Chain A
Amino acid sequence: ETGVTQTPRHLVMGMTNKKSLKCEQHLGHNAMYWYKQSAKKPLELMFVYSLEERVENNSVPSRFSPECPNSSHLFLHLHTLQPEDSALYLCASSQELGLNQPQHFGDGTRLSIL
C-alpha cells in the first residue's frame, strides 16, 4: 500500500466519548501533520511532528492529543469534544520539515460530534 492512509473515514461520537484517529504513511517521510478542515474556512494546521518529535502545537485545545510513536504513524486522541469540532481531519506527510517540501495528504476522517 502506498501514500497516506487514514482510519476511520467517518466517525460519529458523543461529547463524552474518547476515540482516536489513525494516520499511516508508506512514503518513508520524516515529517507528519494534522489539519482541521471546516466548511468555508482555510485549512487549519493543528500539529507538526518531525522524526517523532512534536515541533508545532498551533494553539490547539487540550481535548485533542496527538501521538507519534514512529515516523510512519500518527494518532489524534479525542476526548470530551464540542460540536464545533465537527470537521474533516486531514493527515499529511512530507519528506522533511522544510518550506519547499510538498505535503502528501490522506483522504481524511469526517468527524461528527453529537
Chain B
Amino acid sequence: AQSVTQLGSHVSVSEGALVLLRCNYSSSVPPYLFWYVQYPNQGLQLLLKYTTGATLVKGINGFEAEFKKSETSFHLTKPSAHMSDAAEYFCAVSETSGTYKYIFGTGTRLKVLA
C-alpha cells in the first residue's frame, strides 16, 4: 500500500531564503503526487501535481517540485521565501488500488522569519 512521509513537522526559514519541504513516498507503481497548502482557517489548496511527463513540476506562488523515482521523493522548493508563504504544506500520493484515495502526509508547518 502507498504511504507518504514528510520529514519535519515544523520548518523555519528566513525571508528570502530557500524553502525545502521534504516528501518521500512508497509505491509499487508509478504514483500520482500532489502538494497542497493550507492557510489558517482555510481548506487545502492545490500547489502542484505530478502525473506523467516532465519530472520537474512548477506550481503556483513560485513553488516547484521534482519527482525522483530513484529516491522515491517529491520535495517541494521555492528559491526565496516570502512572509505570505507561512502555512501548512501537505504532500499526497494517490492510491493505485482502484479506490481513488489520496494518502496524505502529516503536514509540515512552514514559518517565515523576518
Are B101 and A56 within 8 A (Cβ)? yes
A42-B104, A45-B101, A98-B100 known; A108-B43 Cβ under 8 A: yes
Q: Kindly state whether residue B45 has any CB partner on chain A within 8 Å.
A: yes
Interface centre among A56, A103, A104 (most CB of B within 10 A): A103
Are A103 and B102 within 8 A (Cβ)? yes
Instruction: Tell which of A4, A6, A43 touches B90, judged by Cβ atoms closer than 8 Å.
Output: A43
Q: Kindly state whether residue B77 has any CB partner on chain A within 8 Å.
A: no
Are B100 and A55 within 8 A (Cβ)? yes
Are B49 and A102 within 8 A (Cβ)? yes
Q: Report Cα–Cα, A43/B43, bound state, in Å.
A: 11
| B 61-97 to A, binary, CB cutoff 8 A, 1 in contact else 0 | 0000000000000000000000000000010001110
Interface centre among B43, B49, B102 (most CB of A within 10 A): B43
Chain A nearest CB, measured from B35 CB (Å): 11
A42-B104, A42-B105, A45-B101 known; A99-B96 Cβ under 8 A: yes
Tell me the count of chain A residues lying within 8 A, CB to CB, of chain B: 25
Chain B nearest CB, measured from A5 CB (Å): 10
| A 83-114 to B, binary, CB cutoff 8 A, 1 in contact else 0 | 00000001010000111101111111000000
| B 27-38 to A, binary, CB cutoff 8 A, 1 in contact else 0 | 000001010100
- Which residues on the A side are within 8 Å of B105 (C-beta)? 42
Q: Report Cα–Cα, A55/B95, bound state, in Å.
A: 15
Q: Report Cα–Cα, A92/B45, bound state, in Å.
A: 10
Q: Kindly state whether residue A21 has any CB partner on chain B within 8 Å.
A: no
Are B104 and A43 within 8 A (Cβ)? yes
Q: Kindly state whether residue B44 has any CB partner on chain A within 8 Å.
A: yes
Measured CB to CB, the nearest residue on chain B to A43 is: B104
8 Å CB interface, B41-56 against A: 41-46, 49, 51
| A 49-81 to B, binary, CB cutoff 8 A, 1 in contact else 0 | 000000110100000000000000000000000
In the A-B complex, the 9 residue pairs with the closest CB atoms: A105-B43, A99-B94, A43-B104, A100-B51, A105-B44, A42-B104, A107-B43, A102-B46, A100-B32
